[in-house]
């Protein structure tokens, strides 16, 4: 069966319905994660600058300190959440082919995977496994 053509313009179909009420969520979360990343990344950079040539034992001791473990896990969560949202905007702006949706899904899933991998590595060190 051939569908009858919709005899209304896109504007005509959308007008009067209001916004979808959800569009602002990604924009907002990108800002919230950005605000979280300002102190977290500054802490991380300052820590790395202070530990440029330390050996394995000193690095492990640093990461095992409770505050360091907490901040590292928070950094990984905020970082990969921000990364997923930011890269999605970049893909949506520049990829206009059929690759757009697979690219967005791949980036989102990779961000989940990398965040979990980073958190597990941090916790393995912190808990001594």
Hey, what are 124's tokens?
A: 């393995």
Give the residue with the Cβ less far from other proteins, 14 or 54: 54
Percent of the chain that is helix, strand, coil (3-state, to 5): 75, 0, 25
CB 78 within 8 A of CB 63: no
Q: What's the length of the chain?
A: 129
Residue 106 interacts with other proteins (CB under 8 A)? no
Chain residues 29-88 in contact with other proteins, contact rule CB under 8 A:
31, 34-35, 38, 41-42, 45, 48-50, 52-53, 56, 59-60, 63, 72, 76, 79-80, 83, 86-87
CB of 29 to other proteins, least distance (A): 13
Q: How far apart are CA 72 and CA 83, in angstroms?
A: 16
3-state secondary structure of 65: coil
Residues that bind other proteins (CB under 8 A): 31, 34-35, 38, 41-42, 45, 48-50, 52-53, 56, 59-60, 63, 72, 76, 79-80, 83, 86-87, 90, 114, 117-118, 120-122, 124-125
């Amino acid at each position: 069966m051939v569908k009858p053509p919709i005899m209304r313009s896109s504007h005509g179909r959308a007008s009067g319905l209001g916004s979808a009420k959800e569009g602002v969520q990604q924009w907002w979360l990108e800002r919230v994660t950005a605000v979280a990343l300002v102190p977290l990344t500054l802490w991380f950079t300052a820590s790395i600058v202070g530990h440029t040539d330390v050996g394995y034992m000193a690095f492990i001791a640093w990461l095992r300190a409770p505050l360091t473990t907490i901040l590292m896990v928070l950094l990984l969560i905020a970082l990969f959440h921000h990364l997923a949202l930011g890269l999605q905007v970049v893909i949506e702006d520049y990829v206009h082919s059929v690759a757009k949706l697979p690219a967005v899904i791949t980036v989102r899933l990779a961000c989940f995977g990398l965040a979990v991998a980073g958190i597990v590595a941090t916790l393995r060190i912190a808990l001594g496994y």
